[in-house]
């Protein structure tokens, strides 16, 4: 074999591998989504939302209480995380852009962003469940908020950094004080980017299971009492999927489909918000 054809053959093999790798990635996405759809559509009915989780073997019931609990805790978590995350992101982008301390905070925030979520669950267990002596919806919401905050901090910071300095300088030249420059000029220019970050944070916390296992625990009955253990979709899926009962496993699949569709839609909404901004700017 000549050198030329050997190089060409090597090239072909390598590029075929790269193509196969892409097909491999897409294959798993397709398989997972198809399995979810195939197993999750069976038994999909309004009862799923209106009825509470059933005792095993009864063949009836739904996921209503878990959906309610998830909505409450996710909503509360985002409500807490949004102002905190945006303000901290503002500090990083507007007050500490070039400072050493800002660099340290940025570093730690990035670590928090990828830290294992079960660690956050343990933290909130020690922080809230141990002193309160019981699991609660509050603890679950706090755990989810701690996971959401770094996402919002990071996107807020990145989006504010994209706002051209000339805008800020123009406002400052008109005599606007700094807080005015930030709230009336920088925030407005970065608004859709910041909202994208909030949506991404919502998508992230909606699927989190590990931090809820020993903070909110679970509750098989309807409850909106944040001071008591609270039902939630991810933990119900976990418990029902590992149970030996067919009807519970079926509900787990239904729940898995619901949660995935909700998360993918949130992700798509976030992308559209970000893309819409780009085209209106250009």
Partner 1 sequence: MSLALDKSLRSAAARSQSSSLMDRIFSALVLGSTAIVLLSLLGVFVALAVGAWPALQKFGFGFLVTEVWNPVTAQFGAVAPIFGTLVTSLVAMLIGVPISIGIAIFMTELCPDRLRRPLGIAIELLAGIPSIIYGIWGLFVLAPFMQQHVQPLLIDTLGELPIIGNLFQGPPYGIGILTAGLVLGIMVLPFITAVARDVFLTVPAMVRESAYGIGATTWEVVWRVVIPYCKVGLLGGVMLGLGRALGETMAVTFVIGNAHRISSSILAPGTTISASIANEFTEATTDIYTSSLVALGLILFFITFVVLSISRMMLRRLR
And the tokens for 92? 């990083």
Site residue total, partner 1 (CB under 8 A): 94
| Residue 179, token pair as written in the block | 């807080």
Determine, following the binding rule CB under 8 A, whether residue 276 of this chain makes contact with partner 1: no
**Residue 164 near partner 1 by CB under 8 A:** no
Token pair for 246: 């067919």
- What is the nearest approach in angstroms of partner 1 to the Cβ of residue 33? 8
Span from 45-53, 55-63, 68-76, 94-102 in contact with partner 1 (CB under 8 A): 94-102
Identify the residue among 55, 264, 272, 278 touching partner 1 (CB under 8 A).
Answer: 264
Per-position b or e across 181-208, b if 16+ CB within 10 A of its CB = bbeebbbebbebbbbbbbbbbbbbbbeb
Residues 6+ apart with CB under 8 A from 77: 141, 142, 143, 144, 145, 147, 148, 205
- With contacts defined by CB under 8 A, name the span among 53-61, 71-79, 116-124, 219-227 that binds partner 1: 116-124
Choose the stretch contacting partner 1; rule: CB under 8 A; options: 48-56, 61-69, 125-133, 190-198.
125-133
Distance in Å, CB of 85 to partner 1, minimum: 8
State the DSSP code for 51: S
User: Applying CB under 8 A, which of residues 68, 78, 202, 217 lies at the interface with partner 1?
Assistant: 217
**From the CB of 58, what's the least distance to partner 1, in Å?**
22
Token pair belonging to 210 = 């590990």
- Report in angstroms how near the CB of residue 185 gets to partner 1 at its nearest: 7
| Of residues 45-64, those binding partner 1 (CB under 8 A) | none
For residue 228, the SS3 value is coil
Site residues for partner 1, 165-204, by CB under 8 A, read: 171, 174-180, 182-185, 188, 203
- Rounded to the nearest whole angstrom, what is the least distance from the CB of residue 66 to partner 1 in the complex? 13
For residue 114, state whether it binds partner 1 (rule: CB under 8 A): yes
Q: Is 214 in the site for partner 1 (CB under 8 A)?
A: yes
Of 233-262, binders to partner 1 (CB under 8 A) are 234, 237-238, 241-242, 249, 252-253, 256, 259-260
Handedness of CA 26, 27, 33, 34 (dihedral sign): positive
| Helix boundaries (H) for the chain | 3-41, 47-50, 64-90, 100-114, 117-124, 130-132, 137-162, 165-173, 178-180, 187-206, 233-241, 246-281
* For partner 1, the closer CB: 208 or 247: 208
Could you say whether residue 220 binds partner 1 (CB under 8 A)? no
156 near partner 1 (CB under 8 A) = no
Cα separation, 163 vs 160, in Å, equals: 5
Least CB distance to partner 1 at residue 184 (A): 6
Instruction: Tell me how far the alpha carbon of residue 48 is from its chain's centroid.
Output: 23
Torsion of CA 51, 53, 54, 55, to 10 degrees: -160
Nearer to partner 1, 50 or 179 (CB): 179
Please report whether residue 157 would count as binding partner 1 according to CB under 8 A: no
Q: How far is CA 229 from the centre of its chain?
A: 22
By the rule CB under 8 A, 90 interacts with partner 1: yes
């Amino acid at each position: 074999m000549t050198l030329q054809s050997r190089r060409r053959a090597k090239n072909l093999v390598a590029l075929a591998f790269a193509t196969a790798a892409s097909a491999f990635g897409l294959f798993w996405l397709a398989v997972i989504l198809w399995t979810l759809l195939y197993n999750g559509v069976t038994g999909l009915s309004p009862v799923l939302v209106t009825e509470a989780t059933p005792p095993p073997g009864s063949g009836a019931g739904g996921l209503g209480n878990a959906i309610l609990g998830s909505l409450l805790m996710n909503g509360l978590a985002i409500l807490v995380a949004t102002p905190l995350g945006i303000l901290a992101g503002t500090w990083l982008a507007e007050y500490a852009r070039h400072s050493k301390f800002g660099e340290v905070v940025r570093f730690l925030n990035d670590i928090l962003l990828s830290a294992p979520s079960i660690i956050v669950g343990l933290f909130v267990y020690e922080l809230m469940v141990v002193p309160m002596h019981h699991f609660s919806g509050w603890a679950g919401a706090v755990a989810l908020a701690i996971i959401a905050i770094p996402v919002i901090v990071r996107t807020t910071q990145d989006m504010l950094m994209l706002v051209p300095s000339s805008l800020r300088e123009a406002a400052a030249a008109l005599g606007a004080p700094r807080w005015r420059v930030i709230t009336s000029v920088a925030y407005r220019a970065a608004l859709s980017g910041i909202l994208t970050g909030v949506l991404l944070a919502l998508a992230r916390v909606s699927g989190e299971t590990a931090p809820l296992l020993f903070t909110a625990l679970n509750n098989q009955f309807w409850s909106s009492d944040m001071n008591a253990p609270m039902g939630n979709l991810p933990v119900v899926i976990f418990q029902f999927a590992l149970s030996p009962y067919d009807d519970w496993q079926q509900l787990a699949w239904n729940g898995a489909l619901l949660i995935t569709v909700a998360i993918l839609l949130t992700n798509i909404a976030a992308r559209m918000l970000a893309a819409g901004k780009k085209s209106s700017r250009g």
